[in-house]
Structure 1
């Protein structure tokens, strides 16, 4: 990341001489040169510090990449994870929970990824493995530079901006890395990516695709209420459709799937992508499909109990309200994600008879040791 260099006052004197038919500049702008050297030095320092920390990430943190449970050390957080393969073949969903993310105390990263296409299971795992460390590296570089230039006091007020900037840069880098990969064909395959970073009472949410994050919070009457934290990036959303159409892509429903809007190439009935943002899917990247995440922030209050991250296999058949009720009513929080996924599978067979059950995956992150009385 390069930061703008601002100079004030007179930093040097320039003299213009003409000779030999060309104009030359003599003298030197010592202040500008020094500022450029300082900027280069700071960037090098940031990179070295970030890379040094990155090598120690998994030694200092705890990472869960399978179904199971992870408890946050020294905090009341608990993450329950569960995934179940559908009836379409290989399970293309995957997830990661990283406690101690970025070598930061009381910080946890949760991410869920839903692949699609022939090689979607490889793409989702590639994004899962690449995005968190890429995000850490860019965030550490940004924080190092910002603290050296602006000081610690201003840094605390710009944390969200730094996370947002880091998320956007990391997503672009991961997508470009996939594009250049010689081992993975992501032309007609891709993946969503939904993640949160919780540090203290602050939660940063980033979403690419149609997975969804839903908050379970206590309402005034003591019941549990659902608050949707993300947008399902479907092609028929006005802003998404406008971008795709402007880029010469097409958005419409197939005859045998009324209500399911998909992205199509301008001159072919392909690929029929059911989301407007994704990693990979390079066949439609020139036609309005993007990998840029929407990044938002949420302050966690004493009323907020947990957040659910789940793939569309869950949300296609379970409403937000049903999901938070299922999780809140689970006696053992360690089994909350499993119970939600099992409920979704049964709902598929009840509500979508004749359709193959989709892969269903969920992460339930609880904020407190126990719900307040």
Structure 2
């Protein structure tokens, strides 16, 4: 089926003694008339940061935005969020870098949302677009994930002990790096109701499927917020890859299934050599493209965007 938009991207971040990150992207329009997803891959984000803190030598950024009501909020976030992050990023001598990075992420999401809402309200007619956001920020070997809505981030970590497998093969563990925000979750529903909103059929006012987003100005008075959930974890030599994807993927794949699918492609026998790419890069690119295509084949009519970040040492 030709209802797809294909993106191929191999991006590399190399800092001495630190994880080597490579980003691969696949995007499919599915059966939608418009591609409302947007994405960003910046394995080396240093060009967006005026000066790194003394404790850090490498910063990478990957993000997926799933728009609804149009593509303007997702595109705005993709174009602006990392620049806002770069401007607010801590620099110089810092005593508590972790705390400063988390504050930077919170401030960045708030500003990006405010900037879009200001632009949206100045239009005639007013823009009513909204967008999820799942952003992966890697500072040296520390991963920070900030997310709004139902796009997700999951990591594949190989069991160092082998998982007790009889054949000696290492077991793959799937780690959730993000938290979904929808109005059926108790805490989210309570916040919406306290703000005077209602949840009907699992949606805010019976319409909006997510309880946190960028944009959606008409729902902000109903308790829909732009405060992201923040999670942090340290990369290890046992970590293989991270999947960032919109809900189009996870409508037809569980997180475990997605990880196993990627691993199965990576472990296939022969691969077609491509100029300028190593065998591993060819395998990861194929895994990313095939995962997105399989989501469409399984019947997902929504837009599907997948960023696959390989982790090497």
TM-score (norm 1): 0.69
Aligned residue number for residue 275 of structure 1 = 210
Is residue 70 of structure 1 aligned with residue 11 of structure 2? yes
Is contact 2:46–2:58 with CA below 8 Å preserved after alignment?
A: no
Aligned partners of 2:41 and 2:110: how far apart in 1? 22
1:158-188 superposed Cα distances (whole Å, 9 cap, x missing partner)? 2221111111111111111111113586653
Q: Report the equivalent of 2:80.
A: 130
Q: 2:156 aligns with which of 194, 216, 224?
A: 216
Note if contact 1:186-1:281 (Cα within 8 Å) is conserved in structure 2: no
Q: CA deviation at 1:293?
A: 0.8
Structure with the bigger RCO (C-alpha within 8 Å, sep 6+) is 2
Residues in 1 aligned to 2:125 and 2:106: alpha-carbon distance in whole angstroms: 23
SS at match of 1:179: helix
SS at match of 2:83: helix
Residue 314 of structure 1: CA displacement?
0.3
Distance, in Å, in 2 between the alignment partners of 1:232 and 1:109 is 20
2-structure distance, mates of 1:102, 1:191: 26
Look up the match of 1:113: 65
Partner of 1:247: 195
Distance 1:134 1:90 in 2: 27
The alignment status of 1:232 with 2:189, answered yes or no, reads no
Q: Deviations over 1:164-217 (max 9, x none)?
A: 111111111111111111358665320111011112221011001110001111
Pairwise CA distance, 1:125 = 0.6
Structure-2 residue corresponding to 1:304: 239
Task: Give the aligned length.
Answer: 271
2:134 maps to 194
Residues of 2 paired with 1:114 and 1:337: CA distance? 18
Q: 1:139-173: per-residue Cα shift (whole Å, max 9, x none)?
A: 1xx435xx3xxxx5x2xxx2221111111111111
Match of 1:361 in 2: 305
Question: If each structure's helix is expressed as a fraction of its own residues, which one has the higher value?
Answer: 1
- Render the CA deviation track for 1:311-358: whole Å, top value 9, x for unaligned: 000001101111001112223112222111111111126xxxxxxx00
SS of residue in 1 equivalent to 2:233 = strand
Mapping 1:337-356, distance limit 5 Å = 337-348=288-299
Gaps of 5+ in 2: 1-6, 164-169, 267-282
- CA distance in structure 2 between the aligned counterparts of 1:367 and 1:190, rounded to whole angstroms: 31
**Structure 1 position 288 matched with structure 2 position 223:** yes
Q: Which runs of 4+ in 1 moved over 6 A?
A: none
Instruction: Give the direction of change, closer, same or farther, for the CA distance of 1:209–1:296 in structure 2 (3 Å limit).
Output: same
Q: Distance in 1 between matches of 2:125 and 2:32?
A: 20
In the TM superposition, residue 73 of structure 1 has moved relative to its aligned partner by 3.4
Contact 2:152-2:179 within 8 A present in 1 as well: yes
Query: Which entry has the higher C-alpha Rg, 1 or 2?
Result: 1
**TM-score, normalization: structure 2?**
0.82
Cα gap change, 1:186 to 1:77, in 2 (>3 Å) = farther
The separation in 1 between residues aligned to 2:241 and 2:196, in whole angstroms, is 41
Residues 80 and 335, structure 1, Cα contact 8 Å, conserved in 2: no
Asked if structure 2 preserves the Cα contact closer than 8 Å seen for 1:210 and 1:275, the reply is yes
Counterpart Cα distance in 1 of 2:189 and 2:11: 39
Q: Matched residues in 1 for 2:97 and 2:265: separation?
A: 35
Q: 1:87-109 CA deviation, whole Å, 9 max, x = no partner? A: 12111011001122134643210
